[in-house]
Structure 1
Amino acid sequence: MGQKLVGILLNAAMHRGVPRQKTGQESLKSYEEAAAVYGLTPCFLKLSDIDTKTGCSIAYMKQTRGYRRVVVPTPDVIHNRAIYDPGSHGIDRLLGSGVLVYNTCNRYGKDQIHGLLEQNARLRGLLPATSAGLSGLKEMMASYSDLILKPCRGSIGQGVMRLTRSSPELWNWSYLPFGSRSWVSTQVNQDVLPRALRMRLASTPYLVQERIPLAEIGGRPFDLRVTVQRGWGGEWQVTGLFAKRAAPGGFVSNIARGGEALDSSYALEQAFSGQAAAGIRMSVLAYSLSIAHELARNLPGLADIGLDMGVTEKGRVYFIECNGRDQRYGFRKAGLTGAWKESYRKPIAYARYLLDHPSQYISY
């Protein structure tokens, strides 16, 4: 196969770190290794350095003495790892110029994803009871005794709150104050909700969901992160999965909020018998593929997602949320180096497939 460019589109802040190889959890080396397998050369871009009129871009590329900025023809295929405001038209300009961009959008509202999956009768049973906003909160408080409140566009557990009934009229409200690493819990009356809570729901779109009674290990709840990606051939495949266990005393499993990454097989076998654990794992994999196919029917350019799936103590599987820019480092933290490397190879394999079969892009 001939040597060709593949673009990796980064946010400006991460892009600035490329020459120092300080790109947070994004592994430049893993992109380089994956691209070499498929006869590609990666170039690292930011949107403002791409000129759709001339067809040229300024990109970081690896040279003998590290990464240097060079002028290159804009790659025909770009893997988007950046997050832009909903009003940004940069990706649209790229698509309009004929560039094949996959993962065109990397952040979808939780309400949007929930609404899409709710339309599928087979997947509807995976969804927890859900409402929205202050009016939805009051309705849910009348029916459930344990609720999770999530900002529709939050990430890494930011802004998540919990309400747990302690008596017919009183609830415990748990939240993480801005800039703090310690959860705060206070008692509230359901008929006179505190102004701070009401203001949050009024200023930011929130989903209100029944809290799933997740299976636990050592008294700490866990869920499963499933990475589902398109690879060579364009078909969806499960790259791997790992478990995320909440920090002691916590109720969110996000690694950025103190959660712990574990091998999924180990986690499931700690919570269930061997046979039950195997069956649950197979169900989670099958449901994850179905979810990817359903979302791809409605979200153009989707190619690389991370799904959070929950399992109750009784073995029932739930969908929790979809991450449009999967943070792959959880595999490495769980000791699953092979899956971590594969999570970089699959999207690059898809890039090579699109370069060789550009007409297939419009089919997905």
Structure 2
Amino acid sequence: MLKSRVAVQVISSGMLPEDTLMLGEAHVKQWKIPQGQHILLKFGSFRQHVKVIPVAKYDGMRMSQSLARQLGLTNGSAVRIQYKAGTSALVLGPLIGVLVSRDYPHMPDKPFGSITMFCRELVEACTTQGAYVYFFTPNQIGSNISTVDGWIYADGWRRVTMPVPDVVNNRLTSRKLENRPSVQHFMKEVKQQHQTTVFNEKFLDKTEVFEALKKDESLVRYLPESHSLRNYTMLKSMCLRYNNVFLKPVRGSLGKGIIRITRLDESNYQAMYATSAGTRRQQYTSLVKLFSTISAKMKTVRYQIQQGLQLIDIQKRPVDFRALVQKNISGKWTITSIVARTAGNHHFVSNLARGGTLSSVGEAIARSNLQSGISRQDASQRLKQAALHIAHGVDTQIPAHFGELGIDLAMDTSGRVWLLEVNSKPSKNDNTPLNDNKIRPSVRMMIQYSRFLSGF
């Protein structure tokens, strides 16, 4: 494998013409780059003809200030290079654009609010791997589809005009922003005009995922019975079949708005509502009365009704598992991390936002009421296998491009693994492996997959 990572040195435009690059002699020889004739320089959507001058005993790349400005590169940036003889093109990259929900220009130290640290981490990981990253928001998407106003980090955050990237990682956290006509138009046009790859290009909703995965017979074993809740008849038939059922907002997250319904006897039912303060319980003397309460909510919220499961618990606190599954430098799904989440006191959902606690899978299984005879290693293996299997299923059955998925799994007391939900915008806080490494494996993997997509 040729050494392809170079440091960029920016020199004054008076000393070097804009159409000339100086490159370490070893790189010129390695890549067989022609000298003294114009070749095409590519960086994301940027295109310009340049001449390359080899420099003895030098390992980097020098370019003029005016060329660096058009590329959005700063002195000391590291990028990878490739020379493609067939098209006489010197390609720099990969150029990665991360689409985030909002920025705060008046807060130069924290321009992305709570995810600023994650963005810094990405910048550092890109520097290490020889990739270049910038961040942009829906408000920075204009009618011009050849450049993007974005944020780079170079001794502080700054706004610059950048070429359209090779790869866009869509990290929008709201459907409303994602569905903006300008955002949809941008994603469609950059794919067509610049062959940009967009991954995690859309939100998933619960019903869509379950309906899609049902088509693959090998995945049905992971799927609790679930339907879109449309009427009283559906609620009644599910409550007759199962002692517990869950109603989950189709587009909910962080455990918001989940209702657990338990049949107490022939006519009495209990509904447990997940609220930020804890669980609110209410009893009903008939299912009709319970449904009339829910039907008011159904005017604004679409629910999925799901079979209740006899999940493992730790001292009556339910346990589930969040697997972060990502594509690697070969484009293959791999497990980056799996953590156990135990519900907080007074809660029946395990989300950290609802007071849940994180632990390792082995620790949670050892403390749980899982049937004896199933080893920690066996239980852990079952979870990993299910997560990879489900990720492949999402890829195959849902027509959109995903590079990372948060897959929420549960295990019943007999050791069977069940799918709870699939999240195409996994939080960068919820799935953190339990260590203090500066750059998380999930961040490194995202860059490696971007390199795979862009051919670097």
The TM-score with structure 1 as length reference comes to: 0.89
Structure 2 counterpart of 1:245, from 342, 351, 369: 342
The 5-angstrom pairing of residues 29-108 of structure 1 reads 29-51=120-142, 53-64=144-155, 66-83=156-173, 84-85=175-176, 87-88=179-180, 89=184, 90-98=186-194, 99-105=196-202, 107-108=203-204
**CA distance, structure 1, for counterparts of residue 104 and residue 333 of structure 2:** 28
Q: What's the CA shift for 1:276?
A: 2.0
- Conservation of the 8 A alpha-carbon contact between 2:207 and 2:227: no
Give the structure 1 partner of residue 448 of structure 2. 349
**CA distance, structure 2, for counterparts of residue 292 and residue 15 of structure 1:** 37
The SS at the match of 1:203 is: coil
**CA distance, structure 1, for counterparts of residue 439 and residue 106 of structure 2:** 24
Structure 2 counterpart of 1:314, from 414, 418, 425: 414
* CA deviation string 1:235-277 (max 9, x = no partner): 1111110001101131111111111111112112222468522
- Conservation of the 8 A alpha-carbon contact between 1:7 and 1:43: yes
**CA distance, structure 2, for counterparts of residue 102 and residue 57 of structure 1:** 18
Give the structure 2 partner of residue 330 of structure 1. 430
Give the residue type in structure 1 aligned to 2:257: G
Give the structure 1 partner of residue 205 of structure 2. 109
The TM-score with structure 2 as length reference comes to: 0.72
1:156 aligns with 2:254: yes
Gaps of 5+ in 2: 6-78, 80-92
Give the residue type in structure 2 aligned to 1:289: L
Gaps of 5+ in 1: 358-364
- Conservation of the 8 A alpha-carbon contact between 1:131 and 1:137: no
**CA distance, structure 1, for counterparts of residue 439 and residue 365 of structure 2:** 20
Give the structure 2 partner of residue 6 of structure 1. 96
Give the structure 1 partner of residue 315 of structure 2. 218
Give the residue type in structure 1 aligned to 2:382: S
**CA distance, structure 1, for counterparts of residue 271 and residue 306 of structure 2:** 14
Give the structure 1 partner of residue 88 of structure 2. none
RMSD: 2.3
Q: What's the CA shift for 1:129?
A: 1.5
Q: What's the CA shift for 1:166?
A: 1.4
Deviates more, 1:144-153 or 1:334-343: 334-343
- Conservation of the 8 A alpha-carbon contact between 1:132 and 1:207: yes
* CA deviation string 1:74-102 (max 9, x = no partner): 21211111143364324223323332111
Q: Percent identity?
A: 25
Structure 1 counterpart of 2:278, from 162, 178, 182: 182
Deviates more, 1:38-47 or 1:6-15: 6-15
- Conservation of the 8 A alpha-carbon contact between 2:164 and 2:190: no
Give the structure 1 partner of residue 400 of structure 2. 300
Q: What's the CA shift for 1:123?
A: 0.9
The 5-angstrom pairing of residues 270-289 of structure 1 reads 270-271=367-368, 272=370, 276-289=375-388
* CA deviation string 1:170-195 (max 9, x = no partner): 11111145xx5232111112133353
**Cα separation, partners in 2 of 1:345 and 1:18, compared to 1, 3 Å:** farther
The SS at the match of 2:325 is: strand
Structure 1 counterpart of 2:324, from 224, 227, 230: 227
Q: What's the CA shift for 1:21?
A: 5.2
